[in-house]
């Protein structure tokens, strides 16, 4: 509460809003008013109200009214008392009574009413109203009533008061801290300019921070560049705001330029919050040179680093494997009574272990008398990863004796032994774990299941899975994968499917290769329909279906005589973004042969070859046999060259089929071209092909009307001449 103002005669004209609306509870004095609003205290009783009226009747004086208003609990009663006094003859309100009622209205959030009372007080020219307005502004700001404070500020500027810049800065700082809209900050700044008051660096710092909050980073940087034009020099707070905001927006290079500005003008912030905010930022980006320079500036400024600064510095040094420097900082922390936390010890242990300085890491923990289990577990795991089990065993025994173990410590030992097929030793640690009253958790079950699976003991692994499931526990992803793979190897496909379905309900994704094995096992066992039902389940849990999974389904459908359904599976495969491989094409081609879809066969073969994929010999042989049988080799005319020239996948029998069929279908030039390739490979045409070639040659020779018989392209002579090279006989006509 501000000091009571002197009582003077004022105008008794009362605005209409004084009694136009009902109001609710409030207490005089900002804190008491706020507490009353939060506690929802009931309105003043009628008898209490009448008592206060009687007091005022006996001694109606502005100071008395101010005291009564101060002691009145609710806003409604306060307004009624204010109205009653205003209607009394020869009574005039003072600035003090206005202060009381405006304060109550403000703490109740009645912004519109505040504006009316403030303007009425100014209009009546109540003595000391200037100080009242400034006091109200201060109280509203300190109680986070910023809308009310803005209303009072507007009134202050209308009556041409010239408060000092600190008044504006207090409101600006509060607006920025409370993340209010930028328009409010801009309004205050404009009021400063209109009042002819020069902003100082605190003013501009608030403006810059507000611009960043409004996502107007470039405008904020422009304000920074213009500081000198406004007679201001950036301070540590300026650099803290700009550097922090630029880093948060990924504009690291610009942040480094601003930091260079700070070094250039020799600005040395002398308060810890700057370094506690900026140093960790650059440590997280591993800017070691920058961090070291900032650390030196901090020391020069006589600022003592706190635990967060030490922790960030040590982590950065450990990332760069500068372990001697990091350990020195830990020693400095201990010397200055700054207690290192677990993160500091973890950083040191991780760095030493990465350098394979395992013995030094153990000595460090002993030297610092670390009692936390986390760094010990990290060291224990690093030793096991290095393969030195005896050292890990000794460390664990030491931890156990000093009571520095937890369930993770036990799990680390058990998991290592299970991963290395030492299940018997793992079970010994499990027994000790149970005797020590340490409960088994999901990690323990996961490790044991992996151990059983690596030894092929699927039944025991499956029993543990069901035991954990009954306790609503979950395995890790590796254990689920190991269990499914083990069950597939043992041909326990139905059990493997159940495990996959369960893990899928928890949104655990299985490796696509392993999912393909599961699908292959189902389809090979005759459960193709069930395999198809697994596809949406796999999609739900994020398991990527590999081509092998779809191939297994299509192969299963083909074996079931449902080749016509393959295109539905193929459509799903394309929708899922799964690329067709050579096996996919081969399965579809064989299916189209069974369905007699010659045009689709030709199209599929062309697509396959254009993607650089080759059909296997079985598929190609069936395809050619089918086309030859139906005299439709011409349908793959465009693919023949790729088959015999580029990919060279055709054997001698297929060459004979192609030559025979092409000759029968009238494509002698193509047959000649293929024969040349066949002869170059050292293969001799079979008897039937040879007879066709000779017959074709004779027919061409007797056709004297054909001008092509005199050319070098005479098919019969070319074929016969080629044959004559290989069996010692002269086949030339």
Residues above pLDDT 70, as percent of the chain: 80
Tokens of residue 657, six digits: 């089929």
Report whether pLDDT(353) > 70. yes
Strand partners, 25: 74
pLDDT for 625-647, tens place per residue?
888 888 888 888 888 878 777 76
Phi first, then psi, for residue 409 (nearest 5°) are -60, -45
pLDDT value at position 453? 96
Report whether pLDDT(561) > 90. no
CA 586 to chain centre: 41
Exposed, middle or buried by CB within 10 Å (0-12, 13-18, 19+), for 40?
exposed
Q: What average pLDDT does this structure show over 253-274? A: 91
Report whether pLDDT(692) > 90. no
pLDDT value at position 576? 82
Report whether pLDDT(275) > 90. yes
Q: What average pLDDT does this structure show over 513-533? A: 92
pLDDT value at position 636? 85
Specify the range with the lowest mean pLDDT, choosing from 73-77, 95-99, 178-182.
73-77
Tokens of residue 581, six digits: 């491989």
Strand partners, 74: 25
Q: What average pLDDT does this structure show over 378-393? A: 96
Distances (CA, A) of 446 to 383, 428, 478, 482, 587: 21, 17, 8, 10, 39
Tokens of residue 504, six digits: 């899928």
pLDDT value at position 703? 45
Q: What average pLDDT does this structure show over 446-460? A: 96
**Are 205 and 239 spatial neighbours (Cβ–Cβ below 8 Å)?**
no
The DSSP-derived string for 463-530 is HHHHHHHHTT----HHHHHHHHHHHHHTT-HHHHHHHHHHHHHTTPPPPHHHHHHHHHHHHHTT-HHH
Furthest CA-CA distance within the chain: 149
How would residue 649 be classed by pLDDT, with cut points 50, 70 and 90?
Answer: low
Specify the range with the lowest mean pLDDT, choosing from 3-12, 234-243, 520-529, 561-570.
3-12
Q: What is the average pLDDT value for the chain, to the nearest integer?
A: 82
Report whether pLDDT(733) > 60. no
- Could you tell me which residue, 617 or 723, shows the higher pLDDT? 617
Specify the range with the lowest mean pLDDT, choosing from 104-118, 350-364, 429-443, 685-699.
685-699
Residues above pLDDT 90, as percent of the chain: 49
Report whether pLDDT(724) > 50. no
Tokens of residue 132, six digits: 């009242």
Q: What average pLDDT does this structure show over 432-453? A: 96
Residue whose token pair is 């630029």: 246
pLDDT value at position 31? 53
Runs of H (alpha helix) within 581-686 = 582-595, 598-610, 617-629, 637-641, 652-664, 668-680
- Could you tell me which residue, 396 or 733, shows the higher pLDDT? 396
Q: What average pLDDT does this structure show over 112-116? A: 78
Report whether pLDDT(251) > 90. yes
pLDDT value at position 490? 93
Measured at the alpha carbon of residue 389, what is the angle toward residues 388 and 392, in degrees to the nearest 5?
95
Q: What average pLDDT does this structure show over 700-725? A: 39
pLDDT value at position 82? 66
Specify the range with the lowest mean pLDDT, choosing from 67-71, 156-160, 162-166, 316-320.
67-71
pLDDT for 52-89, tens place per residue?
565 555 565 566 566 565 656 566 666 666 666 665 66
Q: What average pLDDT does this structure show over 459-472? A: 94
Distances (CA, A) of 693 to 345, 417, 704: 87, 73, 19
- Could you tell me which residue, 15 or 693, shows the higher pLDDT? 693
E strand spans, 59-216: none
Q: What average pLDDT does this structure show over 170-189? A: 92
Report which of 575, 648, 566, 574 is spatially closest to residue 609, judged by C-alpha positions: 648
Report whether pLDDT(8) > 80. no
Phi first, then psi, for residue 732 (nearest 5°) are -75, 140
Strand partners, 105: none
């Amino acid at each position: 509460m501000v000091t009571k103002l002197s009582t003077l005669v004022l105008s008794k004209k009362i605005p209409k809003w004084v009694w136009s609306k009902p109001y609710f509870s409030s207490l005089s004095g900002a804190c008491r008013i706020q507490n009353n609003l939060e506690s929802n205290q009931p309105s003043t009783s009628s008898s209490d109200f009448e008592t206060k009226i009687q007091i005022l009747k006996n001694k109606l004086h502005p100071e008395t009214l101010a005291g009564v208003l101060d002691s009145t609990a609710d806003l409604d009663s306060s307004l009624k008392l204010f109205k009653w006094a205003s209607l009394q003859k020869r009574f005039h309100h003072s600035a003090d009574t206005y202060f009381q009622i405006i304060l109550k209205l403000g703490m109740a959030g009645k912004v519109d009413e505040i504006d009316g009372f403030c303007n009425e007080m100014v209009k009546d020219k109540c003595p000391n109203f200037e100080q009242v307005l400034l006091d109200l502004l201060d109280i509203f700001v300190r109680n986070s009533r910023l809308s009310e404070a803005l209303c009072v500020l507007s009134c202050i500027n209308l009556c041409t008061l010239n408060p000092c810049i600190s008044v504006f800065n207090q409101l600006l700082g509060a607006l920025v801290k409370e993340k209010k809209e930028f328009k409010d900050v801009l309004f205050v700044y404009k009021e400063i300019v209109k009042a002819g008051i020069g902003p100082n660096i605190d003013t501009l710092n608030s403006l810059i921070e507000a611009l960043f909050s409004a996502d107007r980073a470039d405008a904020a940087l422009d304000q920074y560049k213009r500081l000198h034009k406004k007679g201001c020099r950036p301070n540590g707070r300026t650099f803290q705001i700009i550097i922090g905001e630029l880093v948060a927006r990924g504009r690291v290079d610009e942040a480094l330029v601003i930091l260079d500005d700070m070094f250039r003008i020799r600005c040395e912030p002398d308060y810890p919050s700057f370094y506690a905010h900026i140093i960790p930022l650059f440590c997280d980006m591993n800017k070691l040179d920058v961090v070291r320079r900032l650390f030196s500036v901090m020391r020069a400024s006589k600022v003592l680093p706190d635990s967060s600064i030490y922790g960030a510095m040590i982590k950065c040094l450990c990332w760069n494997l500068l372990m001697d420097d990091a350990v020195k900082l830990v020693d400095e922390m201990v010397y200055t009574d700054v207690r290192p936390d677990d993160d500091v010890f973890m950083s040191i242990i991780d760095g030493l272990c990465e350098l394979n300085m395992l013995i030094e890491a153990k000595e460090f923990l002993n030297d610092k008398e670390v009692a936390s289990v986390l760094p010990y577990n990290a060291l224990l795991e690093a030793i096991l990863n290095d393969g030195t089990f005896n050292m890990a065993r000794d460390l664990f025994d030491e931890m156990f004796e000093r009571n520095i173990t937890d369930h993770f410590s036990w799990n680390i030992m058990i998991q290592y032994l299970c991963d290395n097929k030492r299940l018997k030793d793992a079970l010994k640690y499990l027994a000790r774990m149970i005797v020590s009253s340490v409960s088994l958790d999901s990690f323990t079950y996961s490790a044991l299941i992996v151990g059983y699976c690596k030894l092929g003991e699927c039944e025991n692994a499956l029993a543990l899975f069901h035991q954990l499931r009954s306790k609503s526990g979950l395995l890790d992803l590796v254990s689920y994968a190991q269990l499914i793979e083990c069950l597939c190897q043992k041909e326990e496909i139905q059990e493997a499917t159940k495990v996959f379905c369960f893990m899928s309900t928890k949104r655990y994704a299985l490796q696509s290769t392993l999912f393909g094995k599961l699908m292959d096992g189902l389809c090979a066992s005759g459960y193709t329909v069930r395999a198809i039902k697994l596809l949406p389940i796999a999609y739900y849990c994020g398991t990527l279906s590999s081509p092998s999974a779809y191939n297994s389904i299509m192969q299963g459908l083909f074996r079931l005589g449902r080749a016509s359904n393959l295109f539905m599976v193929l459509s799903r495969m394309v929708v899922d973004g799964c690329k067709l491989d050579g096996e996919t094409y081969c399965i579809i081609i064989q299916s189209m042969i069974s369905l007699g879809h010659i045009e689709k066969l030709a199209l599929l073969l062309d697509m396959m070859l254009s993607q650089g994929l080759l059909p296997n010999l079985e598929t190609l042989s069936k395809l050619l046999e089918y086309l030859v049988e139906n005299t439709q080799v011409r349908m793959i005319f465009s693919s023949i060259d790729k088959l015999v020239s580029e990919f060279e996948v055709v054997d001698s029998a297929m060459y004979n089929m192609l030559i025979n069929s092409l000759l029968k279908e009238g494509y002698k030039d193509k047959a000649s071209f293929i024969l040349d390739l066949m002869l170059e490979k050292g293969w001799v045409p079979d008897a039937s092909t040879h007879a066709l070639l000779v017959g074709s040659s004779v027919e061409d020779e007797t056709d004297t009307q054909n001008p092509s018989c005199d050319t070098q392209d005479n098919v019969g002579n070319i074929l016969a001449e080629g044959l004559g090279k290989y069996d010692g006989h002269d086949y030339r006509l």
